[in-house]
Amino acid sequence: MASASPAATAGHPRARDFVALAKPGITALICLVAVGGFLLASPGAIAWARLAILVVTGAAASAGAAMLNHYLDRDLDARMHRTRRRPLPDARIAPSGVVAVLGLAFLGVGVGAAAVFLNPLTGFSIFLGGLTYVVVYTAWLKRRSSWNIVIGGFAGSAPALAGGAAAVGAWTPGVLAFAILVFLWTPPHFWSLALLLRDDYARAGLPMLPRMDDPGFSGRVVVVSAALLVPAALVIGLTGVLAWPILIALLALGLLFVALTAPLWRSVTRATARRGFIYSGPYLLAVVLLIALNAPLLRVGVPAGF
């Protein structure tokens, strides 16, 4: 039998439509960054119960913020080929206000539970991330400024702060340095995507890069932003929280990012833009995995990198 058309299924959401609203890939990455912050702040014995609460509350808040992003961007999503089949522009969930209510509920529960069951600073850190993503980035800057993703990138750094706060009740120097690295990772990740899909973003009228009408300049901006990840890794090392093999590996990951984006300096094509974007996600995942390996190395006496 032929599959039903979007119009025929409008208003009849499936479970996977609600899962999609939570942006599970981004939510998983947010939780991993929070775990990284937790492990950097407390590389000794891991408080597994606190870590579990951090992941659950962070996931709830991230899912809620994603739902609010879907709701606020439903008109933009309908104009982009990449996003037009999402549940709201495809009318599979109606009325769309249900999504806004769910988003506020999940975000509020995540922030409140983190504040009560962990500490107020953790709840505040998660709240800052949600506020930046929903209000500052989605509702304010996304449609108005080509620097939207730079300022909005703080939303990705907030989970690192939440992780540190959950572990020790404070934003330690190592956690702050890790948050800076995540903040600097956001522009080359999203700007590579913007170059790859610049016609799609232009169709939606979104300003995604400084001088988007000058691909050559924009390509060089991506290379420079990727290069900033190398000194960012050095800053983490300077705080004394990384075993030397982990620091070397982080530097190597950053240099590889630069090497993959370097062709954008000379020529901006779909192929050159795709390399940086495809690597950017695994790069951040690898950073968090290295931080997870860092704790046992420090416990067995491997010296810090500096």
Q: Where are the domains of the chain?
A: 14-171, 172-306
133 has pLDDT over 60: yes
Q: Characterise 210 by phi-psi region: left (phi > 0), alpha (psi -120 to 50), beta (else).
A: beta
Neighbours of 142 (CB within 10 A): 20
How many other C-beta atoms lie within 10 A of the C-beta of residue 213? 9
Q: So what's the pLDDT on residue 1?
A: 34
In this model, does residue 9 exceed pLDDT 50?
Answer: no
Interior CA angle at 118 toward 174 and 46, to 5°?
A: 55
pLDDT category, 204, cuts 50, 70, 90? confident
Q: What average pLDDT does range 74-102 have in this prediction?
A: 92
Can you give the pLDDT at residue 206? 86
Q: What is the pTM of this model?
A: 0.93
Model confidence at 198, in pLDDT bands (50, 70, 90)? confident
What's the Cα-to-Cα distance from 94 to each of 9, 14, 18, 134, rounded to whole Å? 11, 12, 12, 21
Quick one: 180 exposed, middle or buried, by C-beta within 10 A (0-12, 13-18, 19+)?
A: middle
Tell me which of 190 and 214 has the higher pLDDT: 190
More confidently predicted of 5 and 39: 39
The reported pLDDT for the residue numbered 12 is 58
Please provide the average confidence, as pLDDT, over all residues in the chain. Answer: 92
The helix-helix angle for 244-261 and 215-227 (nearest 10°) equals 170
pLDDT of amino acid 2: 38
Structure tokens given for 102 = 């769910």
CA–CA separation, 295 and 42 (whole Å): 8
Confidence of residue 45 (pLDDT cuts 50, 70, 90): confident
CB 192 within 8 A of CB 165: no
Considering the domain delimited by 14-171, tell me its CATH architecture: Orthogonal Bundle (1.10)
CB atoms within 10 A of CB 215: 17
pLDDT of residue 6: 43
Nearest to 34 by CA among 17, 57, 13, 16: 57
Residue 282, pLDDT above cutoff 90: yes
Q: Which pLDDT value is given to residue 211?
A: 65
Provide mean pLDDT across the span 152-157: 93
